[in-house]
Amino acid sequence: MTDFALKSSQVITPDGIRQAVVWVNNGRIADVLSELPSDFSSVVHDLGDKVVMAGVIDPHVHINEPGRTDWEGFDTATRAALAGGLTTLVDMPLNSSPVTTTADAFDQKLAALPGKLHTHCGFWGGLVPGNTNEIEPLIEKGVLGFKAFLTHSGIDEFPNTSENDLRKAMPILARYNLPLLVHCELSTDETRATGEVRSYQNYLASRPKEWEDNAIALMIRLCEEFNCRTHIVHLSSANSIEPIARAKQNGLPLTVETAQHYLFFEAEGIPDGQTQFKCAPPIRERTNRNRLWEALKGGIIDFVATDHSPAPAELKLLESGNFMKAWGGIASLQFALPVLWTAARQRGCTLSDIARWLCEKPAVLAGLAGRKGKIAKGFDADLIVWDPAETFVVSESILEHKHKITPYLNEALYGVVEQTYLAGDLVFKQGNFSGLNMGKVLLNGPTKGQG
């Protein structure tokens, strides 16, 4: 049984940053105290002015196991997560094989976990044409919600849904109050990509904002019609901010995430042939990025998630630099916190903003808001200690991902994660893992024995 306290002048609580003592007992936060009582008998670790924050929650991670473990896998993904201060992930229903679109496939996913789960992990089910009758069995198994695509997903075994498929699924999800996560791009037949395949500008032009804007307009209409929790993943087009804001003002159950790479990079700075920057929707121009930041600060965008989607080098086509054919996906999980903080601090954002965007709001989407994502009495003691003033340079030697390909290579970032606690156990300290295989499977539902 763990019983100790973390003392710091910078504890990020729901009421702001303050000097506090976080008392941890038996895996939970027993209390958050302003001062140490004179009769306090637990061990106290005085961290000075290091930041104590809830562990980062990333609800958008492609772990790709079983079946494509050579792309990533639970072992390397969750190690990278611990090193980066992430304590809870939610795994996407692709690109594992099988994809998580049936209850049987979900069983295969759970069977792949023993010995490899170093953070807590929940799971999204997949919605594809023809699997309406698998929705309730997957809910019964404990998925936290469902993910659908409106354009080709990148792998043929996860086809995109039509509006008609969504019309069948959304009433069911609404009944269970589970979210539908949607990749919002509605492609047209028109081929816009012409000319030089190494050109980033050509790739950008091949996936225009209108694809996203049309898809988001459709999802807002369906969200209103079915009153089904609807979540737009990785928003890139700033042209959709207005309609999203309006839908939220009208009280629709609509939430939105964007990804670190849309906030950190800009199209103008991406060299031709550098396919480690390829993702869908694409990283857009500087003025678009500035508008995403304003929407995030204003609460129109709820939070930030990595969309970590790695692939082996041969699929990224780094040698040919062919943007049109390379795998679309950015590997970034380990740097979720420092990337966002590095960009946010330049824009006058606070540490409380970071905790809201990386801990508190993602917990709400995943249905974990009552127990994770905040430093508050009774919450799980998934905690991190980090130094926002210290910098480091991303190098291959510190990457815990399976593949050492990331657009953040050689970037100097602010924010060094020094300690990671999982349910009160110190599992990562000063670059070393001190506790592995301690993650819990997070299943939806009161009878599912949530970790």
Q: Which two tokens stand for residue 230?
A: 């609807």
CB of 335 to Zn ion, least distance (A): 17
Q: Show contacts with Zn ion in window 284-323 (CB under 5 A).
A: 307
Nearest to Zn ion by Cβ — which residue? 307
Q: Which is nearer to Zn ion, 23 or 74 (CB)?
A: 74
User: Residues in contact with Zn ion, total (CB under 5 A)?
Assistant: 1
Q: Which is nearer to Zn ion, 91 or 307 (CB)?
A: 307
Give the max Cα distance, the chain: 74
Q: Show contacts with Zn ion in window 61-90 (CB under 5 A).
A: none
Q: Show contacts with Zn ion in window 171-200 (CB under 5 A).
A: none
CB of 56 to Zn ion, least distance (A): 17
Separation of alpha carbons 325 and 49, rounded Å: 48
- Residue among 431, 373, 444, 450 at smallest CA distance from 141: 444
Q: Which is nearer to Zn ion, 72 or 307 (CB)?
A: 307
Q: Which is nearer to Zn ion, 203 or 414 (CB)?
A: 203
Q: Which is nearer to Zn ion, 185 or 307 (CB)?
A: 307
Q: Which is nearer to Zn ion, 134 or 307 (CB)?
A: 307
CB of 233 to Zn ion, least distance (A): 6
Site string for Zn ion, 202-231 (x = CB under 5 A): ------------------------------
CB of 312 to Zn ion, least distance (A): 17
Cβ pair 325, 316 in contact under 8 A: no
Q: What pairing do the DSSP bridges indicate for beta strands 86-91 and 28-33?
A: unpaired
CB of 154 to Zn ion, least distance (A): 9
List all residues 6 or more positions away from 307 whose beta carbon is below 8 Å from its beta carbon: 60, 61, 62, 233, 234, 259, 261, 279, 329, 330, 332
CB of 307 to Zn ion, least distance (A): 4
CB of 301 to Zn ion, least distance (A): 16
382 touches Zn ion by CB under 5 A? no
CB of 15 to Zn ion, least distance (A): 34
Q: Which is nearer to Zn ion, 307 or 387 (CB)?
A: 307
Q: Which is nearer to Zn ion, 302 or 307 (CB)?
A: 307
CB of 92 to Zn ion, least distance (A): 5
Burial class (CB in 10 A: 0-12, 13-18, 19+), 412: exposed
Per the document, the length of the chain is: 451
Q: Which residue has the tokens 């997560």?
A: 81
Q: Which is nearer to Zn ion, 79 or 183 (CB)?
A: 183
Q: Which is nearer to Zn ion, 11 or 365 (CB)?
A: 365
List all residues 6 or more positions away from 195 whose beta carbon is below 8 Å from its beta carbon: 202
Q: What pairing do the DSSP bridges indicate for beta strands 425-429 and 412-422?
A: antiparallel
- Residue among 380, 418, 439 at smallest CA distance from 61: 439
CB of 279 to Zn ion, least distance (A): 9
Separation of alpha carbons 63 and 212, rounded Å: 25
User: Binding residues for Zn ion, per CB under 5 A?
Assistant: 307
